Amino acid sequence: MKELMQKLREASLQAVSQAPTMETLEDMRVRYLGKKGELTGILRQMGKLSAEERPAMGQLANQLRADIEAAIDARRESLSKALLEMKLQQETLDVTLPGEADRLGHKHPMYNVLDQIKDIFVGMGFEILDGPEVEKAEYNFDKLNIDAGHPSRDWTDTFYFTEDGKILLRTQTSPMQIHAMETRELPIRVLAPGRVYRKDEVDATHSPMFHQIEGLVVDKGVTMADLKATLNLVVEQIYGKGTVTRFRPHHFPFTEPSCELDIQCHKCGGKGCPTCKGEGWIEVLGAGMVHPKVLAGCGIDPDVYSGWAFGMGLERLAMGEYKITDLRLIFENDERFLQQF
């Protein structure tokens, strides 16, 4: 029996000290010390021993059990140390590697200009309106007094969705005048910026999609003097105090009288330069007194109420403000361009 225990001691201590994983270590514990394990198997033979021999054998067996347990504990500890070591190794952070910084964008330069204009009008009590880019011809043309034969209704100028020509991409923000008059309580003061679409070839000054800003005021006793005074004020806030303006007669079907507003070239002071193409003046917007027919069509009595409206191109304004020479840069989203603002 003594030899058996000695054999078990050598075999188990050797095996335990080399157990490759926690799982094999646990298997060994069961195999050597478990209820049906090898040590128990040896102790079963105690019955064959004499009463004198038993205590010494019992002591030997207890010692062996304690030694195997100690060896298992020691191996478990060294295995878990190695495991931790390995984990630390795997999860090492190389703080010298280049980082992956989040890239934060910023507002598009054209929308900087739009926000500036919105602020000016909000300061004067205007409400900002948003409206559909897919529009009924009724709102884009008919209700604006643009009759069936008008050239802007031509299929070569306008993007239509339907054969009957009833649904289109709005060619101007002026239909927002109609939406405003149909949905707002009087008096009305609204500013409606947004995209508009025309069948233009793309070049340095044209794009089939561009932005306009529509303005509309309807109230009792509104006159052309209000239009001129308000727009002069706005121009001074955009282009600086003392900017010289001129109102040229023009024609729009939905305003009467109609005009265009030019500013004297701020680059050359009116002498003529590349910025104003030698004209001395730069066209800024179209405007006029809302046509009585348009008012009446929206259920507003033109004998009681009058109004003025304007429409302004946003890209051209941004190009002037930031000295951008090609319209395409505004839409191409080239980061080398955008990052300059």
Closest approach of Cβ 108 to ligand PHE, in Å?
A: 22
Per-residue HEC secondary structure of 320-339 comes to HHHCCCCCHHHHHCCHHHHC
Please tell me the distance from the alpha carbon of residue 60 to that of residue 54, in angstroms, as a whole number: 10
Considering only residues 244-273, where is the footprint of ligand PHE by CB under 6 A? 252, 255
CB of 215 to ligand PHE, least distance (A): 8
User: Does position 230 bind ligand PHE by CB under 6 A?
Assistant: no
User: Read out DSSP for 218-229?
Assistant: EETT--HHHHHH
The residue (of 131 and 286) whose beta carbon lies closer to ligand PHE is: 286
Amino acid making up residue 268? C
Stretch of 4-12, 73-81, 201-209, 304-312 lying at the interface with ligand PHE (CB under 6 A): 304-312
Coil, strand or helix at 193: strand
Least Cβ distance, residue 238 to ligand PHE (angstroms): 17
Residues in 44-63 that interact with ligand PHE by CB under 6 A = none
Examine residue 309 and tell whether it contacts ligand PHE (CB under 6 A).
Answer: yes
Minimum distance of ligand PHE from residue 146's CB (angstroms):
10
Give the shortest CB-258-to-ligand PHE separation in angstroms: 6
DSSP string, 199-266: ----SSS--SEEEEEEEEEEETT--HHHHHHHHHHHHHHHH-TT--EEEEEEEETTEEEEEEEEEE-T
The residue (of 37 and 288) whose beta carbon lies closer to ligand PHE is 288
- Residue 300 C-beta: closest distance to ligand PHE, Å: 16
Q: Where are the alpha helices (DSSP H) in the chain?
A: 2-17, 22-33, 38-43, 53-90, 109-123, 137-140, 175-183, 224-239, 292-297, 314-322, 328-332, 335-338
| Mask for 143-172, x = binds ligand PHE (CB under 6 A) | -----------------------------x
Residue 192 interacting with ligand PHE (CB under 6 A): no
Amino acid identity for residue 316 in this structure: R
Burial 214-229 (b: 16+ CB within 10 A, else e): bbbbbeeebeeebbbe
Q: Is 288 in the site for ligand PHE (CB under 6 A)?
A: yes
Site stretch for ligand PHE (CB under 6 A), options 34-42, 58-66, 84-92, 285-293 = 285-293
Asked whether position 176 contacts ligand PHE by CB under 6 A, the answer is: no
Binding site for ligand PHE (CB under 6 A): 172, 174, 252, 255, 286-288, 309-311
